[in-house]
Structure 1
Amino acid sequence: MNSCLKEELYKGFRIQLNLCGPKTPWTSAQEQTGGCGRVRLARDVRRSSEASPAPSLSTEEQRALERKLKKERKKEEKRRLQEAGSCPARKTPAPRIPTDPTPPSSGATLALDYLCGWAQKRQDWKFQKTRQTWLLVHMYNPDKVPDEHFPTLLAYLEGLKGQARELTVQKAEAQMQALGEGATDGQDPLLLGQAHRLRQVLQLLS
């Protein structure tokens, strides 16, 4: 083959390579298909792999996967706490401020207030059997009914009627007999004061 023919063949081969694009190193896919067709085949394979979507999970599978991941996170957190040798701090409740509630009124306070309300003729005053009973039971005790309230109580007793009046007289006579000589000896001031009140009540109601 002469030199002119060889040059023509080389020129034709270069023209074919230029039509297929710039010279690039061939990959394995290019080697199998050859030339420009090899490049196109490799590109098509890559595009098809990128375009194919990842397989989707069902709802149950997603939930199972989430539970699994949650358990793994808890295990990992527990392991870290054990390694650190500490436990999560518990929230301590806020200290309660001690309140100072108003103490309930005693029976004596309520009964004496009831008696004062009657004496002052308060508009909101009304009869209360419980308060009256307390006054009748404790009226001979100066510790329960002070001396300054006893004249008011005598005025209140003037309004007693019926069975309440009779029972008050009977109890006063029985207590006077129980005191006996102790009320007249004058040795015990407490007994002497009780006897004096008993006489006033008997004198008023008899």
Structure 2
Amino acid sequence: MREAGIIVKKEESKKPSASELALEYLTSWSEKPKKWKFQKTRQTWLLLHMYDKDKVPDQHFCILLDYLEGLKGSARDVTVQKAEALMKECDSSEPEDSSLLEKSERIRKVLQLLS
């Protein structure tokens, strides 16, 4: 077909983004606990992006705080350490940026919950 100059379009399967998958995971944990299954990659994505309001909207952040209560072991320790480091970073920078204020508020909530 290529030789004849015919171009065949492959059907593009719309795969959900990492963000969508992680938020679905979180919603499933909240709404369907019996069907929910732990997935380290989803948890890791959530922990990496939980302070970003664009990636984890407020409605999901509230669920995420509930999820974090069950966080155990090194994941909990590392999350606290990173949150403390980020809090120091936020405290030393200019507080004028509204996104930075939102981020620091989320960091504060996580620290209050886990400490």
Q: TM-score, with normalisation over the residues of structure 2?
A: 0.88
Give how far 1:123 is off: 4.0
- Match in the other structure for 1:202: 111
1:193 to 89, 102, 111: 102
In the TM superposition, what are the counterparts of 1:1-206 in structure 2 within 5 Å? 93=4, 95-182=6-93, 185=95, 187-206=96-115
SS at match of 1:131: helix
Residue deviations 1:162-205 (CA, integer Å, cap 9, x gap):
2211111111000000112436x3x1001000000000000001
2-side partners of 1:172 and 1:122: how far apart? 27
The amino acid of 1:149's aligned partner reads H
Output the CA distance in 1 between the equivalents of 2:56 and 2:32.
20
Q: How many residues align?
A: 113
Q: 1: CA distance between counterparts of 2:34 and 2:70?
A: 18
Q: Matches of 2:70 and 2:52 in 1, distance apart?
A: 21
- The CA deviation at 1:93 is 3.6
Percent sequence identity over aligned pairs:
53
Bigger-Rg structure (1/2)? 1
Change beyond 3 A, Cα 1:96–1:136: same
Match of 1:38?
A: none
Query: Structure 2: 5+ residue runs without aligned partners?
Result: none
Alpha-carbon distance in structure 2 between the residues aligned to 1:93 and 1:123: 55
Q: Which runs of 4+ in 1 moved over 6 A?
A: none
**Structure with bigger RCO (C-alpha 8 Å, 6+ apart):** 2
Q: CA RMSD in A?
A: 1.8
Q: What secondary structure does 1:180 align onto?
A: helix
Take 1:126 and 1:116, find their aligned partners in 2: how far apart are those partners?
A: 12
Give the secondary-structure state (helix, strand or coil) at the position aligned to 2:88: helix
